Amino acid sequence: MCRHVAWLGTPRTLTALLRDPPHGLLRQAWTPRRMLHGSINADGFGVGWYIPEMRMEPARYRRAVPIWTDASFASFAGVTRSECVLAAVRNATVGMPVEETSTAPFTDGQHLLSHNGRVDVDVPMHMLAAARDAPVPDSRCDSALLAALVWQRLGTGACLADAVADVVIAAGGKDGAARLNLLVTDGIQIVATTWGETLSYRVSPDGEDAGMHVASEPSDDGDGWVDLDDHRLLVADTRNVTISSLI
């Protein structure tokens, strides 16, 4: 159910991050190697990136088509460079709409968020209905509703890691079959969860590609990738990673 990736570090092009790696997100759209549920991610894709010297709000490009069919993305990905990128390819949950507004990354104007998994849509809907000052979600799909819940928690003053953990634990407690791998960034840090799906990270401390790579699955067979156990919360910057339990 979807694959996603985030990069935080030295500026890299979208092509270098997503299209060039032998098992990068482009390849994962049609032949993921570790996806536990589903076999292809052809229900849309999206990319978000930050260029803080131009504006604080992240830019986004989202389509409800397979990533390999989009010649426009291929044409500008090689000339778009950023220190922080979050991208996803989508395998839509059965019954969820296949449209641009249901495609990650979602944003509140500051953060980017992707959801790899599924949850009974009634769970986040009821949680939003009970929450104070909850924002209107982009879509009625499960992922957009989860994003709105994270934005609501942030609006109460919670830090990013606490907001993400709170939503995942609460939703997972209400739906025992939920899969809740969230990947979120504010351009300065990456926060991610494992809850029913795979996640790996790699720290590259030196050279032109120094930074933090967090992904549903490794984009290559090189050294340094670390696989996370289930029910974990990852908080990372360009060099440091903190892992804690969600249960």
Active-site positions?
2
Q: What is the DSSP letter of 172?
A: H
Which helix H or strand E contains 115, and what residues bound it? strand 112-118
Using CA atoms of 14, 1, 234, 210 in order, give the dihedral in degrees to the nearest 10.
-20
Q: Taking a C-beta distance cutoff of 8 angstroms, is the pair 68, 43 a contact?
A: no
Closest listed residue to residue 144, CA positions, set 191, 86, 93? 93
Residues 6+ apart with CB under 8 A from 193: 164, 165, 168, 180, 181, 182, 199, 232, 233, 234, 246
> Residue 238 is which amino acid?
T
| 156/133 Cα distance (integer angstroms) | 9
Report residue 233: phi and psi, to 5°. Answer: -115, 125
Cα 38 to chain center, whole Å? Answer: 17
**b/e map of 85-111 (b: 16 or more CB within 10 Å)?**
bbbbbbbbbeebbeeeebbbbbbbeeb
